[in-house]
Amino acid sequence: MNQPLSRFVLIFFLLFAGGTSFAQTAVTTDEAKLNELLTSFVDSYQSLTQTKNKQAVLQYFHPEATSNIYVFNISGKSRVSNGNVRGFEAYLDNLLRSPNLVNVYELVGDPMVNVSGEVATITYKIKYEIKEEDGIWVKGNELVTLALEKTGDKWLIVHYNIVQIEDEKLKGTCVCELFVGEGDDAEVVSKTTVPNGRSYSTKFDNFVFRTAENGDWVIKSPTQTFKRLSTGKLVKVSEEGDSIELGIPSSKKETVLMILSEGIYKESCARITVR
């Protein structure tokens, strides 16, 4: 090989090798940034109920980010929802309106990061719990994939896909059916479906209404006694005779629902919906 040609081949090789090395370095740098981004996002989301800093979570999202969420719950049913970052923001607001909730959101294993120029994906597994100080509401696992785009030096989430599988639920939405007899002193029977760990259980309760001479309603279930006072207040009567105020219901139906949600199933029902 003559000397000019050899020199050309050497220069070409050096340029090619240097360009490849630069590209690999850029990808490696972006992967490191994305791993840091994920760690910061997880920390901000998990500490939301303590910091109350919603923007610390939302800063990682593009304003037009979209989502697809699949949830498989303990009852064996699934649901799929498509949304956007505004829906996620509304969910964060709900968490912040529940001051006693703790949001546990822990990475499991190492995330998988792929970078291709100005776009990237991060796939990771999460173990989550939503709980109060006195017990767990729900816990399970998530598989999450984030799609991100790079603008300047900043990466933003433009789409997120979540597959969530509930493992256990001890508190959540309860479903109730009421069977109300006619007359002020008629009995009421309730059928309430409540979360019970890895499944739901169905509870039947019978309420006997009696009107006292002073105009109070005395309401008895098989295990507890309640009174709806002439002032409208509903109270739970303890075995020692002490009264615990539950609220001010406006009807017999609302009285029973308040007894169920604030008295009998307070530890299991975050809310009750009526069929």
Q: What SS3 string covers the chain? A: CCHHHHHHHHHHHHHHHHHHHHHHHHHHHHHHHHHHHHHHHHHHHHCHHHHCCCHHHHCCEEEEEEEEEEEECCCCCEEEEEEEHHHHHHHHHHHHCCCCCEEEEEEEEEEEEEEECCEEEEEEEEEEEEEECCEEEEEEEEEEEEEEEEECCEEEEEEEEEEEEEEEECCEEEEEEEEECCCCCCCEEEEEEEEEECEEEEEEEEEEEEECCCCCEEEECCCCEEEECCCCCEEEECCCCCEEEEECCCCHHHHHHHHHHHHHCCCCEEEEEEC
Report domain extents, the chain.
Answer: 3-169, 172-274
pLDDT band at 65 (very low <50, low <70, confident <90, very high): very high
- pLDDT above 60 (res 10): no
- What pTM did the predictor assign? 0.63
pLDDT mean over 46-62: 93
3-169: what fold?
Answer: Nuclear Transport Factor 2; Chain: A, (3.10.450)
The mean pLDDT value for 100-111 works out to: 88
pLDDT at residue 31 is higher than 80: yes
